Structure 1
């Protein structure tokens, strides 16, 4: 009728039983075998009384709770709906308000949810999902590959972050208690390489012995010097299909804004008199949909964007392109921005620059190499993790050399 087992991670005992055609799987919140066996006996007694008709579950009581309470919960309190994991995840997606999250974030969450439904017991009650289930999920995901490379612990952690976020949302109506994500182990991952110049990367690759994936990892750590930025932007000006591409890339290269921030920028965000641009953020606050930061505009931004705005095709957004029927001007989408980036540098040496993020990292790396105070870099870049700072901290030559110089006699 019922059985118990011990969670190998938390060491807590859990009980499994079936009633009314549904399976229940609950933590007993104890590590003592005698206590767990005592609860098991009482649960079996309650199930027997229900089966014999000598005990009835009140209309408002949740069956699992009623059975675990030895039939003492009367159901006066409003119980939460018992819902399968699949239904819970789908309900979350349907109820997400328009504009609550960025399209790229929604796309990422959708991928995470698809993986969760693929590997977790989707027909089981969401409340019965335990840390053991999630640990099993983690272990299976880490054995899967994307191309030639195993799924990284970092990717699986993000999937668990999505699960945690959905669970916290569901506590209002469907689930109880904290999300069962604490104590999960993901294994170790390799730290990303420090940012390197083009010449440094080519020198390392020329020595031989690096796999294709290792070479790709090196190029993913590329930052362009200021001389290369000038050459890169010159190529964009000469080869871009649309006139907005060169101004768009100039803004990113000289302010370090994210691609999404560039796409949200509006003409009125640029104050050429004070040489400041207002950046619209989405990642800094959990309470506010949009926050702002101000970034100083370097002279190249002023020289390129003023003429662009003087001949702007119309609309509020700083960067836009014609609609498919050429009858209107529309704000850029992520796919359009990515596509124009790729087309502009295809079949040139600059195709090794894989995206807008290279320009953002180059902005921070070049500032660091010039000895700019880290607090100013953080102010202009917006939110940064300590891990990201470490990737270009080796480029602080003046600070490092003066520090080691203190050891001289």
Structure 2
């Protein structure tokens, strides 16, 4: 409505409204004027007609009264003159009526134009109403959006308050995390020191691994020789089996003799005890203790030997027990246990359990003694070839054998 009133106040709209009003007023005035003139002309025609009728009546009366032709002619001439005047007046009235009708047609055309302009204005008014309704609907939508925005603003305010509370909680959590980070930094320093120590140990382990790799390469080189040794040992085993069979036959023959000798030895032992008892009774009780020396006892302690020279066998330890068992270990704490025989300068290790590099059993190695040391000679299949085992000192035996 505000847009319509604003448009109606424009100069063009005002001029159109004034022209439309002026046209309507002119049309109404001309219509009223033409109606009045037509009524006047109709009245005059009626009067002329009445006068003619009156003249005719007068003429008839005169003809009837006087019967004179001249009077009638004069009256007729006078009536004809009046009729001519009336016809002239009627023609003038018709001419004026045609002019009025032309003016009326022009006014009608102007009226149609004004009506079209009025229809256009009414169309504009309708468009303005539609725009007004559209603006009203948009205003309602904007009001709804404003209300929704207000609600969203309230929600945002609530969320902002919640975010502030969460920020306070996060600040406290950050402070706690800072303390934990300080503790973690201290722990990290300790871990780094431990890591450095682990790296040192890893370096030592890598060096040991390199040594093991070198030994593995040497073991691979020895594998071919061991294959040959296996075939030789198979041959020797066959010979030993034959020897064992012969020994068993000899054992079957010698067993009764051994039993007889055992009985004889027992009898002689009892006799010897009786003799010793008589001797003890004969010797004074105050005799010096040094006069009687005890018989030497057989060694029952195991004898341990170790390789102290630098090289592949460094740290290898060999223990020979009195019960014919042995223990062989290296510097990596790998060991094997089994039985041994030491006969005619040859050390035979057999019935071994465990694992020590590429060693295979039974193993025969030539052996020589140099003082208390054991020197292992070269022999095929002997893992100890070329090594010198020295007696293990008691103090060293108490220390653990660790990998170098």
TM, length-normalised to structure 2: 0.17
| Bigger fraction of residues in helix | 2
TM, length-normalised to structure 1: 0.17
Select the structure with the greater relative contact order (CA < 8 A; seq sep ≥ 6). 1
Q: Which has the larger radius of gyration?
A: 2
